[in-house]
Amino acid sequence: HPPVSSFLLTSEQSSGAIVQHIKRVNTNTVQVVDTLTEGTYSDIRKELPHLGIVQVIHVTGEESVDEALAIHEMVDAILLDSGNPTAAVKMLGGTGNTHNWAISRKIVESVKVPVFLAGGLHAGNVKRAIDEVGPFGVDICSGVRTNGWLDPDKLAAFMNAVIDV
């Protein structure tokens, strides 16, 4: 992969649909924000052997550790996020809420792939999040936005907090 990866975030749950989407947009990494229910990661790899696969796990409880252990050998990285994919209206990220970082720490310590931390991170909590979880990296969305727009001051404060770790 080049130094900067291009990501497709998808809520598709079919490996075939994911492959077709990647072929249309030609990114080098896919972030699967929901559970695969049709097909497998192997099906994706067979069609797109150079594609990086990042699986999102929504940390809802201890069962999230088992979910990570079940998939970590089939993906290139895991992204831990807040959300609830089993809610009546699925929440698949961008909630602005944090989750139980102790569970996230267990996942980081249990799997053999890089783990990224997301979910409600902002300049005021990212240092503590990194200290408590020990992720490979962090993912940010709502914590650097104001009224839905990227806020340069919030982004600078966030990056300064990360650099201070």
Render the chain in DSSP notation, one character per residue.
--SS--EEEE---BHHHHHHHHHHH--SEEEE-S---BS-HHHHHHH-TT-EEEEEEE--STHHHHHHHHHGGGSSEEEEE--BTTSSS-B-S-------HHHHHHHHHH-SS-EEE-SS--TTTHHHHHHHH--SEE--SGGGEETTEE-HHHHHHHHHHHHT-
The whole-angstrom separation of Cα 133 and Cα 102 is: 7
The pLDDT of residue 78: 97
For the chain, the domain total comes to 1
Q: What is the pLDDT of residues 112-161, one digit of tens each?
A: 999 999 988 999 999 999 999 999 999 987 889 899 899 999 999 999 99
Residue 95 has pLDDT above 80, yes or no: no
Contact predicate 29/52, CB 8 Å = yes
Q: What is the pLDDT of residues 115-128, one digit of tens each?
A: 999 988 999 999 99
> Residue 106 belongs to a domain with what CATH number?
3.20.20.70
Task: State residue 81 phi and psi, 5-degree precision.
Answer: -135, 165
Residue 164 has pLDDT above 90, yes or no: no
The whole-angstrom separation of Cα 76 and Cα 28 is: 12
Is 43 among the domain residues? yes
Residue 84 has pLDDT above 80, yes or no: no
Question: Mean pLDDT score of the chain, rounded to an integer?
Answer: 89
Is 140 among the domain residues? yes
Q: What is the pLDDT of residues 2-31, one digit of tens each?
A: 578 888 989 888 999 999 999 999 999 999
The whole-angstrom separation of Cα 43 and Cα 102 is: 33
The whole-angstrom separation of Cα 159 and Cα 40 is: 36
Provide the domain limits for residue 17: 7-163
Residue 82 has pLDDT above 60, yes or no: yes
Is 2 among the domain residues? no
Contact predicate 64/58, CB 8 Å = yes
pTM: 0.88
The pLDDT of residue 91: 52
Is 1 among the domain residues? no
pLDDT tier, 96 (very low <50, low <70, confident <90, very high otherwise) = low
Tell which residue, 19, 47, 48, 54, has the closest CA to residue 33.
54
Token pair listed for 155: 């982004």
